[in-house]
Chains A and B, each alone.
Chain A
Amino acid sequence: MVSLIVFIPLLTAFFLLALNKNAVELVRRTAFGASLLTFFISLGLFTGFDSETAAFQFVERYAWISEFGIEYYVGVDGISLFLVLLTTFLSPLVILSTWSSVEHRVREYLFFFLILETGMIGTFVAVDVFLFYVFWEVMLIPMYFLIGVWGGERRIYAALKFLLYTMVGSLLMLVAILYLAYLHNTQHGTLTFDLLRLYTLEIPVSAQMWLFAAFALSFAIKVPLFPFHTWLPDAHVEAPTGGSVILAGVLLKMGTYGFLRFALPLFPDAAHAAVPLIMALSVVGIVYGALVALVQPDMKKLVAYSSVSHLGFVMLGLFAFNIQGIEGALYQMLGHGLSTGALFLLVGVVYERRHTRLISEYGGLWKQLPLFASVFLITMLSSIGLPGLNGFVGEFLILLGTFQANTLVGAIAVSGVVLGAVYMLRLYQRVVFGPLTQPENAKLTDLSRRELAIFVPLIALMLLMGLYPKPFLSRMEKSVEATLARIHQTADNKSVESVESIGSVESLGRLSLDPTDPKDPIDLKGAS
């Protein structure tokens, strides 16, 4: 089932190339149908999910490159389940939005979009680290094309910046992945990229620092954590609506997902050491993102900077290292995906009508576009975390977790919530309320039925997630607990545990690797 979800979009993408490129309607319907089918199949993951276990479910596992012990190994657990669903849920909505937002080279646009969907889903379901890396990189290229071909004026610059930033991080991660695999070879005699087996490695603390740095850089760029965020406003502003939605809705979550899945549980000692740094950067990101958003004249840029701020919250939650923090972070990842995705779609709606994104060009839209105004209202409230909507649950849990970990950081973060309310309310006020000053705006039409069909499911889900979080949280719980246990398995705790419970020093001995072993990759030697 997981493979179906991963590969239906890819196969459809290549099928589209066989269609006549002038049969635009057929191309659109095919792509929409395929993404909808993917979504319905993925619902099976939700209903069939066993929330009593932290293990991977719906596992599929085949040998792939046996020379390196690389497998095609996919599955979902409580962490990836909802991210997969978020992807499959947003994709058909984005495709639906292309009916009006993309007019040129529709077939090619959808071709790249569907490949992107495969890449995103694959990244979330991969259990083999090599496979994860492949999907992670595969994702880059279609996104690059979406921005570079269908984007705004400075699209080439933005696309290249996006590509190069992401590549720097990911390639260093590749070296770290290789190092892990060979470390497993040294310690256990087999070369493997299976994440679950790599979790059992005993990595010396000094090496952990390097490895964590390599992984964390790659993920921090993707999140984006301050100060690695500069590619984001460019990419967001230049990307076409669909690209922005996916970028904000799903791609940014890859970074936080990466931290939770790989960087934290693989290198717990380094992760603990990095807490002050990451927390500081997150808080700076929260406040900085909010302040910059406050002064943006461009709606899209405002939403982009609000993402920097929101993702700062997610990072805080993750690095609180407690169950509330991490569950809150996961919940906020979903919530942010919905609300920011919806915000970008809303910006797209007015942009298609007026071809400007400047806030000052609007005002008083509530009378002319009542439906738009109401959808915008709910989305905006969800984004600032009003109780009863999805944003609240996530933010609340994150702050709860953060206060337990660090009161000061929690206190500063709360100011971010306030600032978030300020810039969002101001945006809403200047776009929707007030007198209708621009005569062009009097001619605008309200949401069409197709556009309603995009927003109704989004709003419904925001309400559901805000009012009844239990089906979501209960499915996350076991996996989050298991991950948390791994994060707390630092070298100090481990030695205490093994001495106490097992009473053998053998496992301690494995900590120090034999430096004379020629295959020992620990020694970071250079030319000498």
Chain B
Amino acid sequence: MDMTLPAVNWLSVLPTLLLSATGMLALFWDIWIKDDERSLLGWLSLTGIVVTALCSWLLWGHNDVESFSGMFALDAYAMFFNLVFCLVAGLTVLMSLSYLETAEIRHGEYYALILFATVGMTVMAAATDLIFIFLGLETMSIAVYVLAGIWRQHLTSHEAALKYFLLGAFASGFLLYGIALIYGATGSVQLGPIAEHVGTQGSSPLLLIGMGLLIVGFGFKVAAVPFHVWTPDVYQGSPTTVTAFMAVGVKAAAFAAFARIFLHTLGAVHADWQGILWVVAALTMTVGNITALVQHNIKRMLAYSSIAHAGYLLVAMVAGKDLGGAALLYYLVAYGLMNLGAFGVMVAVGRRGEPHEELDDYAGLGFRYPALGMAMTVFMLSLTGVPPLVGFTGKFYIFSAAVQAGYIWLAVIGVLNSVVSAYYYIRVVVNMYMREGEAIVALPSLRSALGVAILIAAIGTVLMGVFPSASMSLAGASFLSLG
């Protein structure tokens, strides 16, 4: 019997391979490495991530290269997301270098798991086959389940891992079932043929149910209401750096696949899914923001805020078309920068055994640690959407896509939500500058790696906000590469 090997274009999987190789190297090196040299693993991971980012950057222009018989694409879209994932993973590793010591997490697998999760993300962004997307999702998820529970000394971390795992497995089931139904409706699991079938035949009840199940699966991963209930506990219980990684990286990866499938492949039947997503987006924004209002723990507040931001991102999905897609990509970068920055400040404020996550712990911080206070202010204002910071340009992008597509009421709901969010973000600033701390909190001196991470996030937040043109056109061109 003849076996034809699929045409393999190694270039398309090069970023994924690089990350995998670094991950394995980190895993094996961990066996020999001395306890006090563990941070070398972090630097190794960082090197791998930077090389991957460079490689993705160079590959950015190479469009329409298909590989593995149409299961994997090398398009600007995938490369854009690779850059996002590298940014997220890189900043997470930088922050982890000091966090792991203060939190007393001494497992070398940590960095390897971060890398493997990133591998899964790159697969999700580049895969053009539902099964492949599912494989990427599972690779990412399993690594993140473990990461959530890696803080073994803390019961909350166990709880987080278990909760995340159980509900995540459930969501995977939904996703898989949705894939099966879509296969049944269209006769293929590859995105190209599905798009063709949908374009000519339109939708069918089977396809509708399949799409609904996909929305449930992805809704869980991006923490959209009503699939969000796991988020606060998991985010609060996990180690802070892992929370940052989850809140930004996992969300971005889920949106990468979500948008590729819905905006591109199922774009022809957008009328069938836009209505549902409209409701989900409005609910997600509103529930996320209103629940965040009453939180006193900043980590938990950021968890709810991440739900709210998923809502804004869903608005971009609803708006659809080129502008909505580009806005989605742009906002993911914006959200990544400001959210990672905020978590970075949280890491800097925490001390050994004392996480300092409560709002009151931030009292008087602003004037005592001006640089840290200013950075946190920038991140909070940006998350609120105050110009000229990136959070504003991102929201501007999304809402203009919504207005252009005619979803004016959704945009109005979105901006009103921004006002609500102002209350709880500004409360952090109030505590930092307008209340005096009762006990003088002396922070450990800022580790340089962590400082660099916060600085990168802060500079990105300001620069991308004041001069958004370059990144906007990059996001626009990346989305257009889907064809």
Contact = CB atoms under 8 A, between A and B. Distances in A.
- A, B from the same assembly: yes
A164 B433 contact: no
A67 interface: yes
B434 A140 contact: no
B387 A133 contact: yes
Interface of A: 64-68, 105, 108, 133-134, 137-138, 140-141, 144-145, 148-149, 155-156, 159-160, 163-164, 167-168, 171-172, 174-175, 178-179, 181-182, 185, 518-521, 523-528
24 contacts: A65-B472, A133-B387, A137-B386, A148-B430, A148-B433, A148-B434, A149-B433, A155-B434, A156-B430, A159-B430, A164-B423, A167-B419, A168-B419, A171-B419, A174-B399, A175-B399, A175-B403, A175-B408, A175-B411, A178-B396, A178-B399, A178-B403, A182-B404, A521-B403
Given A160-B423, A160-B430, A141 B411 contact: no
B423 A182 contact: no
A119 to B, nearest CB: 10
Given A65-B468, A160-B426, A178 B434 contact: no
B403 A182 contact: yes
Nearest to A522: B406
B400 interface: yes
Nearest to B473: A67
Residue among A149, A171, A172 with max Cβ neighbours from chain B (10 Å):
A171
B415 interface: yes
A181 to B, nearest CB: 7
A156 B426 CA distance: 11
A172 B434 CA distance: 28
B406 A172 contact: no
B200 interface: no
A140 B415 contact: no
Contact of B434 (A133, A149, A171, A528): A149
Contact of A519 (B278, B404, B407, B468): B404
A167 B422 contact: yes
Interface in B408-434: 408-412, 415-416, 418-419, 422-423, 426, 430, 433-434
A172 B400 contact: no
A421 to B, nearest CB: 39
B367 interface: yes
Main secondary structure of the interface of A (DSSP, over half): helix
A351 B451 CA distance: 44
B430 A172 contact: no
B51 interface: no
Contacts of A178: 396, 399-400, 403, 411
Contacts of B423: 160, 164
A317 B409 CA distance: 34
B412 A67 contact: no
Nearest to B395: A174
B366 to A, nearest CB: 9
Nearest to B418: A171
A316 B388 CA distance: 34
B444 interface: no
Given A105-B367, A164-B423, A172 B403 contact: no
B449 interface: no
Interface in B437-483: 468-469, 472-473, 476
A133 B410 CA distance: 20
B381 A141 contact: yes
Given A156-B430, A164-B423, A521-B406, 5 more contacts: A167-B419, A171-B418, A182-B403, A518-B406, A524-B408
A68 B400 contact: yes
A182 B423 CA distance: 30
Contacts of B426: 144, 160, 163
Interface string B110-136: 000000000000000000000000000
B279 interface: yes
Contact of A172 (B275, B388, B393, B415): B415
Nearest to A66: B469
A108 B411 CA distance: 36
Contacts of B408: 175, 179, 521, 524-525
A487 B424 CA distance: 41
A256 B236 CA distance: 47
Enumerate the 6 nearest inter-chain pairs by beta-carbon distance, A residue then B residue, closest first.
A171-B415, A134-B387, A178-B403, A527-B278, A148-B434, A526-B409
Contact of A179 (B393, B403, B473): B403
Contacts of B473: 67
Contacts of B412: 172, 175
A520 B403 CA distance: 10
B364 to A, nearest CB: 11
Contacts of B381: 141
A67 B472 contact: yes
A105 B373 CA distance: 15
Contacts of B278: 526-527
Contacts of B388: 134, 138
Contacts of A164: 419, 422-423
Contacts of B410: 526
B408 to A, nearest CB: 5
B367 A182 contact: no
A12 B433 CA distance: 22
Nearest to A130: B396
A67 B279 CA distance: 29
Contacts of B387: 133-134, 137-138
B434 A159 contact: yes
Contact of A174 (B393, B396, B422, B476): B396
Contacts of B404: 182, 185, 519, 521
A175 B469 contact: no
A523 B412 CA distance: 14
A526 B415 CA distance: 15
A105 B367 CA distance: 9
A171 B403 contact: no
A175 B415 contact: yes
Residue among A64, A137, A140 with max Cβ neighbours from chain B (10 Å):
A137
Nearest to A145: B433
B385 to A, nearest CB: 8
Given A160-B423, A171-B416, A527 B279 contact: yes
Given A67-B469, A134-B387, A137-B387, A524 B434 contact: no
Interface in B364-378: 367
Nearest to B409: A526
A400 to B, nearest CB: 40
B422 to A, nearest CB: 5
A172 B414 CA distance: 10
Contact of B415 (A174, A181, A182, A523): A174
Contact of A527 (B275, B399, B400, B472): B275
B85 to A, nearest CB: 24
Given A105-B367, A164-B419, A527-B278, A140 B469 contact: no
Contacts of B400: 68, 178, 181-182
Contacts of B386: 137-138, 140-141
A20 B60 CA distance: 46
Contacts of A179: 403, 408
A134 B391 CA distance: 13
A168 B275 CA distance: 27
A468 to B, nearest CB: 40
B47 to A, nearest CB: 34
A153 B278 CA distance: 44
B349 to A, nearest CB: 20
A140 B278 CA distance: 31
Contacts of B419: 164, 167-168, 171
Contacts of A523: 406
A68 B403 CA distance: 13
B275 to A, nearest CB: 5
A460 B468 CA distance: 46
Contacts of A134: 387-388, 392
Residue among A155, A518, A521 with max Cβ neighbours from chain B (10 Å):
A521
